[in-house]
Structure 1
């Protein structure tokens, strides 16, 4: 590969790693082109890029980014999955694919600025998606005012009930 092309590749990868919310390194050795294409398509549906990278180019591109922590994992064949949105969606697709294909291996990655082991990536896959978490948070936030309204409306309701009972007693006494 020409030097200029390598420099362009490194610059693009560096920019993507800077924008990424998460990046995961995988070992794809032994997979067919069709299997890798299927994985790439599944990841693309989640807004994730999957690129085969040379270790040297990845090492250079990761310098100055949070992905610098994955340098010890850069041995053998590597591909990087880069997510810009929901890291758990990335992890879910990779975990599912790893269960289906024995040859596919998750090596580790980075979430924000924190290094992730392969086990951490699998644990991330077990977390609810960002949308599910936001829905739960919204439900919790919505429950507080709803409960407060119920409590506050209980006092006038009880007062009206007492007045109604007094009125019934008055009518029965007459």
Structure 2
């Protein structure tokens, strides 16, 4: 890499760190090309990015961002997964790590909060932003459904009472 390519790489990574809701650092322990392709596709599906970067350039890129605490994690063959949704990248990485032992979760960060590997796994167990939105919409709609049921219930009860009296008098 020449100097201008390095500057472009640092600028790109800095942009990734500036926009990300969460960043996960992994260590490649001999992933094949096919496995890496599967991982990249899974990460892309959830709207995240996965980039293998030179450690010295990644350390330069995190300087001045909320993710400065990640600088110590950039040792060995590392890769960076980032997403705007704080849970998406963590879920994809943890799910993939369950299928192979050739990737190690080193740590991560949500803003200024630095996470170790167990913290990333805990983050992955949380519901994603879309799941939370669905739950919230369900909670908002539930009272309206209950009100509609309550509004029709008294009339139905009255009809059953009148029907019971009619049957009683007929007998």
Q: Structure 2 length as normaliser, TM-score?
A: 0.83
Q: Does 1:126 align with 2:129?
A: no
Q: Provide the residue aligned with 2:89 in structure 1.
A: 90
| 8 Å Cα contact 2:69/2:114 also seen in 1 | yes
Q: How does 1:53-132 map to 2 (within 5 A)?
A: 53-84=53-84, 86-132=85-131
Structure 2 CA distance, aligned partners of 1:28 and 1:122? Answer: 17
Q: Provide the residue aligned with 1:39 in structure 2.
A: 39
After superposition, give the CA deviation of every residue in 1:42-93 in whole Å (9 maximum; x if it has no partner).
2112221111111111111001111211112111111001112x33221221
Structure 2 CA distance, aligned partners of 1:43 and 1:14? Answer: 19
| Structure showing greater Rg | 1
Structure 2 CA distance, aligned partners of 1:113 and 1:35? Answer: 31
SS of 1:106 mapped into structure 2:
strand
Q: Provide the residue aligned with 1:12 in structure 2.
A: 12
Structure 1 CA distance, aligned partners of 2:4 and 2:88? Answer: 34
Structure 1 CA distance, aligned partners of 2:117 and 2:52? Answer: 18
Larger displacement relative to structure 2 (72-81 or 110-119): 110-119
Structure 2 CA distance, aligned partners of 1:126 and 1:77? Answer: 26
> CA 1:144 to 1:73, structure 2 compared with 1: closer, same or farther past 3 Å?
same
SS of 1:66 mapped into structure 2:
coil
Q: Structure 1 length as normaliser, TM-score?
A: 0.81
- Return the offset for 1:108: 0.9
| 8 Å Cα contact 2:46/2:89 also seen in 1 | yes
Q: Provide the residue aligned with 1:139 in structure 2.
A: 138
After superposition, give the CA deviation of every residue in 1:74-128 in whole Å (9 maximum; x if it has no partner).
11111001112x3322122111211111121011111233212111111122122
Q: Provide the residue aligned with 1:3 in structure 2.
A: 3
CA RMSD after TM alignment: 2.4
Larger displacement relative to structure 2 (112-121 or 1-10): 112-121
> CA 1:104 to 1:156, structure 2 compared with 1: closer, same or farther past 3 Å?
closer
